[in-house]
């Protein structure tokens, strides 16, 4: 179908606006990457903008050798992988029965779950419950309270409801039970929402900060987000690293170390998102109903 002149102008304006917005979002990231890869004199003089000056990887070398960033990265990875797997599993188990129109008590349970979005117990009661269960200083304190997000569950429930009932009835006629129906029909048709909710959970667990601060007492259990926050807040990062390797430390600055830490924290999400975006397209193709 041929686009009109007005539509072409409208699309062109949208493309221009979105391109400018994308560039504005990218500039701070490029600046941080440049700081992390620039020499000491260039950083201190303020010459670094969007391109590394006096290119060096000393900041990354000192970051990995002089700080527990590798251990914190492993902790973040463990928290994210287990958290996403558990949350996706229980979110599916909650959303699927509530999406079935023949499920008894569906409306009452839905209203009860939505009620938790409006009223919560609060920080102190939540902490007391977690503490009374003996979960403090355990990753279970991060996983169990956030096991199912009501918002994510409602999104998934709405997607399940939009799957044609004819497909479900055909599967039942063929002898499919609820487990086979869920695994063989519902989930393959729901890849877009599964990828989207998985990304939501992944970002949440990877960026966990406040919960880690209040529940994790052992320094060796903190994740990458908390470690980077401590590095950014601390004014003695360079002095501590100087005792580790004076030869490398002469070419780094606290700003370079902090920028390198932030890049290490951000890069995994930048890598994961394009991979999930591919599954968005694949899920839409699989879920398409062909006449």
| CATH number for the domain harbouring residue 134 | 1.10.3720.10
Residue 94 inside a domain? The answer is yes
Residue 22 inside a domain? The answer is no
Residue 205: pLDDT band by 50, 70, 90 thresholds? very high
Q: Tell me the average pLDDT across 34-54.
A: 83
Contact assessment for residue 197 and residue 88, using Cβ atoms and an 8 Å cutoff: yes
* Residue 10 tokens, joined: 């409208």
Tell me, what's the pLDDT at 281?
Answer: 54
CA separation for the pair 242, 244 (Å, rounded)? 5
Residue 112 inside a domain? The answer is yes
* Residue 143 tokens, joined: 């996983």
CA separation for the pair 159, 193 (Å, rounded)? 7
Virtual torsion, Cα 274, 280, 282, 286, nearest 10 deg: 170
Tell me, what's the pLDDT at 239?
Answer: 58
Residue 265 inside a domain? The answer is no
CA separation for the pair 158, 181 (Å, rounded)? 17
Residue 23 inside a domain? The answer is no
Residue 17 inside a domain? The answer is no
Q: Tell me the average pLDDT across 83-112.
A: 90
Question: How many independent structural domains does the chain possess?
Answer: 1
- Burial category of 268 from C-beta neighbours within 10 Å (exposed 0-12, middle 13-18, buried 19 and up): middle
List strand residue ranges (DSSP E) for 100-228, in order. none
Least trusted range by pLDDT, from 53-57, 131-135, 244-248, 276-280 = 244-248
Q: Tell me the average pLDDT across 273-283.
A: 66
Looking at mean pLDDT, say which of 74-88, 193-207, 229-243 comes out highest.
74-88
Q: Tell me the average pLDDT across 42-60.
A: 82
Q: Tell me the average pLDDT across 226-244.
A: 68
Tell me, what's the pLDDT at 228?
Answer: 85
Tell me, what's the pLDDT at 251?
Answer: 66
CA separation for the pair 168, 190 (Å, rounded)? 14
Calculate the alpha carbon distances from 285 to 170, 185, 192, 202 in Å: 21, 14, 10, 24
CA separation for the pair 112, 130 (Å, rounded)? 22
Note the pLDDT tens digit of each residue in 238-255.
Answer: 556 655 555 555 667 778
Residue 58 inside a domain? The answer is no
pLDDT at 115 over 60: yes
Calculate the alpha carbon distances from 150 to 91, 139, 183, 219 in Å: 9, 21, 22, 31
Average pLDDT, rounded, for the chain: 83
Q: Tell me the average pLDDT across 109-131.
A: 86
Sign of CA dihedral 64, 70, 76, 81: positive
Note the pLDDT tens digit of each residue in 152-182.
Answer: 898 888 888 888 888 888 888 888 788 888 8
Tell me, what's the pLDDT at 286?
Answer: 42
Tell me, what's the pLDDT at 88?
Answer: 95
Provide the domain limits for residue 157. 67-233
Alpha-carbon Rg for the chain, nearest whole angstrom, is 24
Residue 172 inside a domain? The answer is yes
Q: Collapse the DSSP code of 68 into the 3-class scheme (helix H, G, I; strand E, B; otherwise coil) and give the result.
A: coil
pLDDT at 20 over 90: yes
């Amino acid at each position: 179908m041929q686009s009109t002149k007005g539509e072409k102008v409208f699309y062109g304006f949208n493309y221009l606006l979105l391109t400018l917005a994308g560039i504005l979002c990218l500039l701070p990231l490029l600046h941080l990457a440049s700081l992390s890869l620039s020499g000491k004199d260039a950083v201190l003089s303020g010459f670094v903008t969007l391109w590394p000056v006096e290119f060096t990887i000393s900041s990354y070398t000192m970051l990995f050798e002089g700080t527990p960033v590798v251990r914190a990265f492993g902790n973040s990875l463990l928290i994210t992988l287990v958290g996403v797997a558990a949350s996706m599993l229980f979110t599916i188990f909650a959303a699927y029965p509530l999406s079935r129109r023949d499920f008894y008590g569906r409306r009452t349970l839905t209203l009860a779950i939505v009620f938790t979005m409006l009223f919560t117990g609060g920080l102190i009661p939540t902490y007391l419950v977690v503490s009374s269960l003996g979960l403090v200083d355990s990753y279970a304190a991060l996983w169990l309270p956030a096991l199912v997000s009501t918002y994510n569950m409602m999104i998934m429930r709405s997607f399940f409801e939009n799957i044609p009932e004819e497909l479900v009835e055909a599967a039942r006629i063929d002898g499919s039970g609820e487990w086979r129906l869920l695994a063989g029909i519902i989930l393959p048709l729901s890849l877009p929402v599964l990828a989207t909710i998985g990304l939501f959970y992944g970002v949440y667990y990877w960026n966990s900060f406040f919960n880690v601060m209040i529940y994790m007492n052992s320094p060796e259990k903190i994740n990458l987000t908390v470690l980077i926050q401590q590095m950014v807040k601390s004014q003695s990062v360079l002095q501590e690293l100087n005792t580790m390797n004076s030869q490398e430390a002469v070419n780094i600055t606290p700003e370079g170390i902090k920028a390198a830490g932030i890049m290490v924290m951000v890069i995994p999400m930048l890598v994961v998102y394009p991979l999930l975006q591919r599954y968005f397209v694949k899920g839409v193709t699989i879920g398409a109903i062909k006449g």
